[in-house]
């Protein structure tokens, strides 16, 4: 007997966004300058964690430093910006279009709270390096439980 997997969800916004991305990707393959949404691509990331810090490296080749926006709070990092496309030569047409252009945004929810006052970010050779220190967790203590 064959079974049909049914997934019940009320998260229609996520499903709509996924559908919109699929349609956008389809049209992007026909013409790289076409897109439905503000965020058209997602830069690849590496995330490293030690006992005292979290390091994020974003690959952003071809993005000008002035076109980058970095926001950090105690639990998340937001990297956004845009890479400007290069139009094909006059009377030319694409034979292969793999480089993604346009706006991008990545939001990373961090595994532990970070110290937003000790952030170090550098951009060199198309790589954005973000280094943040973790907040030290307070020592644990026992909480007495009363009878009422």
The CATH number of 39-87+97-134 is 2.60.40.790
The tens place of each residue's pLDDT in the chain, 148 residues long, gives: 555 444 545 554 555 556 555 655 555 555 554 545 455 799 999 999 999 999 999 999 999 999 999 999 988 999 999 999 888 788 888 888 888 999 999 999 998 899 999 999 999 999 999 999 998 876 677 888 888 7
Distance in angstroms (rounded) separating the CA atoms of residues 80 and 4: 39
Strand (E) positions, 13-147?
A: 39-41, 45-49, 53-59, 68-72, 76-83, 102-109, 114-124, 127-134
pTM check: above 0.85: no
Contact 123, 65 (CB under 8 A): yes
How far apart, in Å, are the Cα atoms of 60 and each of 63, 65, 127? 6, 10, 6
């Amino acid at each position: 007997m064959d079974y049909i997997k049914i997934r019940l969800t009320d998260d229609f916004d996520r499903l709509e966004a996924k559908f919109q991305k699929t349609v956008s990707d389809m049209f992007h393959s026909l013409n790289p300058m076409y897109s439905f949404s503000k965020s058209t691509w997602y830069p690849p990331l590496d995330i490293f964690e030690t006992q005292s810090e979290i390091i994020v490296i974003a690959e952003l080749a071809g993005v000008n430093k002035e076109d980058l926006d970095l926001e950090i709070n105690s639990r998340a990092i937001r990297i956004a910006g845009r890479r400007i496309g290069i139009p094909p030569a006059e009377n030319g047409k694409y034979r292969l279009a793999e480089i993604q252009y346009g706006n991008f945004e990545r939001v990373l929810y961090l595994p532990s709270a970070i110290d937003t006052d000790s952030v170090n970010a550098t951009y060199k050779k198309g790589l954005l390096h973000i280094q943040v220190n973790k907040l030290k967790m307070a020592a644990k203590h026992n909480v007495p439980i009363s009878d009422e």
